[in-house]
Amino acid sequence: MSTPTSALKTPTPVSKSGTKSKTGFVETLKPQFNPGQSLTASARPTPSTPVATPLLVDTIQNEEMKAELQDLKEKLETMKIKYREKTRDYDELKIQLDQSAEFKSKIMESQASLKRDIEKLKLEKQEAVEAKEETSDLAETLEMMTLDKEMAEERSETLQVELDLAKEKIEELTLDLELIKADIEKSCEGGGGGEGGDGANQYQMKQLEQQNLRLRETLVRLRDLSAHEKHEMAKLQKDLEEKKQENTELIKSQEKLKQRVAEMEADCADLHEQVDAALGAEEMVQQLTLRKLDLEDLVSKQAEEIVDLEALQVVSDQLQEDAREIELELKEEVEMARNTTREILREKDAALESLADRELTIVKFRELVQKLQDQCQDLQHQLHKEASNQAAIRTAIPDMLDYKKMFAETKAHARTIDLELRRLEVQQSQQHVQYLTAYMPDAFLSRGGDNDAVRVLLLIPSLLWKSEILLSQIKEKFPPVDSITHADLVRSHKAEQFVCRSKLSFHLFQLQAILRNHVAGQPMDAEPN
């Protein structure tokens, strides 16, 4: 047992140089620290630079935010000045608009009343024209009736003359008849008339009788005609009286309408004068408006000074509140940056620990390789010593098994530590989220609020990640089948497993495509100023 150890120690420098010349990774992966050195000591000096850098960045950002705040204050002042000017212009325009609207309403009312009066005048004028036309028609009718009356009077006079003549003629004929009768009676009493004289007397007698009958009929007709003419004359006289009364009434109404038209024309002239006066008063209203605005400007200057002071006080208070809010936001950002720095430092420490573990493993592998090479050289030189060789092999194999066991335990221990660190990070993140939600308003945590929207945004990447895990597990559990034989279909379930694996993979790929479309459609996070 003593000879192999001495043999292993003596050729050590030669074997190291040989390994350096044969393997190139030994020199590049040489550790920066001794295997026995503590990990915390090696990781302590490095965090100084990442801590200082975020603080410097926060300071620069704070200065930029202050400069931006000052710029915003100046912009706010200019905007306030412009706003006051615009407000003054707006007030002037509003006053002018109100006055013009009031004046317009008055003008519209007067115009409407004028239109109504004009319509009334037009109606009354039309009625007067119609009454005048009706009066003219009645006058013409009256003239016609007067002419008819005159003609009837002339006709009645002629008929009266004819009647008088007929009466005189009848009286003459009556006298002649009586004379003839007397002559006849005398002749009959004398008894001595001849036949020729009798015949002539009879003939004359008949002729006189016929003439008497005709005259009697003429007299009757003249009497009837005279009575009819008297009746017509009475009727015409009555109609003439009625028409005269209507004519007098129409003349009176015409006089009244003429007076009304004259009054309306006078009113229309007065209204036109009022409209002209109102149009002239518009300029006076504008002048008074300008004077009023000047007086209001003089009065409002002092009020504006008071308002400006109050506004400045309000703005200063608001700026102080904004500064406090910005300070709180900057503090939160600094705290978040520090938390991020701590997380990065923890990740760096974990990476350094894993790197140290790997370097330690590499060193152990080097030592093991060196030992194995030394053992190989010793075995080549000492082939004749089988007992010692078997003993060395027996001692080397347990060393290798112990090393593998130790490496597995180290790796499991590192994984356990890593899982504990990740669990701690998850707990701190959840606690951080709880602290942040405690400062959020109730609307953020209400149903359908921003909290649900954030959860939905986080759900899509989570589904993508879980689908990737499912696909990787499916590939590990159910490897692909190159060829399917009859025995695979009959004696095993490889074909069914492959079909189920393919369908599930297809559905998962479809789900990933849909989720990636949603992720691609989401807006990118804005970089902080």
Residue 529's pLDDT band (boundaries 50, 70, 90)? very low
pLDDT at residue 341 tops 80: yes
Residue 392's pLDDT band (boundaries 50, 70, 90)? low
Residue 304: exposure state from Cβ atoms within 10 A (0-12, 13-18, ≥19):
middle
Structure confidence at residue 151 (pLDDT): 84
Q: Which of 46-60, 137-151, 494-508 has the weakest average pLDDT? A: 46-60
Per-residue pLDDT averaged across 248-269, rounded?
Answer: 80
pLDDT at residue 403 tops 60: yes
Residue 402's pLDDT band (boundaries 50, 70, 90)? low
Per-residue pLDDT averaged across 274-291, rounded?
Answer: 71
Name which of 428, 465, 462 is nearest 346 in CA terms.
428
Domain boundaries, the chain: 88-309, 457-524
pLDDT at residue 189 tops 60: yes
Structure confidence at residue 102 (pLDDT): 82
Residue 380's pLDDT band (boundaries 50, 70, 90)? confident
Q: What share of the chain is helix, strand, coil (3-state, %, to 5)?
A: 90, 0, 10
- Measure the CA–CA gap between 39 and 349, rounded to whole angstroms: 9
Tell me which DSSP letter residue 524 carries. Answer: P
Structure confidence at residue 181 (pLDDT): 77
Name which of 335, 526, 334 is nearest 432 in CA terms.
335
Structure confidence at residue 23 (pLDDT): 39
Output the average pLDDT for the chain. Answer: 74
Structure confidence by residue, pLDDT tens digits, 455-477:
888 888 889 999 998 998 888 88
- Measure the CA–CA gap between 123 and 110, rounded to whole angstroms: 20
Structure confidence at residue 510 (pLDDT): 92
Per-residue pLDDT averaged across 388-396, rounded?
Answer: 57
Residue 327's pLDDT band (boundaries 50, 70, 90)? confident
- Measure the CA–CA gap between 499 and 507, rounded to whole angstroms: 12
Predicted model pTM:
0.26
Per-residue pLDDT averaged across 481-491, rounded?
Answer: 67
Q: Which CATH class is domain 88-309?
A: mainly alpha
Per-residue pLDDT averaged across 273-291, rounded?
Answer: 72
- What region, left, alpha or beta, does residue 11 occupy, with left being phi > 0 and alpha being psi -120 to 50 degrees? alpha
Phi first, then psi, for residue 456 (nearest 5°) are -65, -40
User: What distance, in Å, lies between the first and last C-alpha atoms of the chain?
Assistant: 73
Give the DSSP per-residue string, 184-220: HHHHHHHT---HHHHHHHHHHHHHHHHHHHHHHHHHH
Q: Coil, strand, or helix at residue 529?
A: coil
Structure confidence at residue 389 (pLDDT): 54
Structure confidence at residue 509 (pLDDT): 92
Structure confidence at residue 190 (pLDDT): 64
Name the range with the highest mean pLDDT among 26-30, 166-170, 205-209, 277-281: 166-170
User: What's the token pair of residue 360?
Assistant: 């330690």
Structure confidence at residue 318 (pLDDT): 82
- Measure the CA–CA gap between 60 and 52, rounded to whole angstroms: 12
Structure confidence at residue 508 (pLDDT): 92
Give the DSSP per-residue string, 342-399: HHHHHHHHHHHHHHHHHHHHHHHHHHHHHHHHHHHHHHHHTTT-HHHHHHHHHHHHHH
Structure confidence at residue 52 (pLDDT): 44
Residue 506's pLDDT band (boundaries 50, 70, 90)? very high
> Which of the two residues, 150 and 406, has the higher pLDDT score?
150
Q: Which of 49-53, 86-90, 260-264, 356-360 has the weakest average pLDDT? A: 49-53
Residue 346's pLDDT band (boundaries 50, 70, 90)? confident
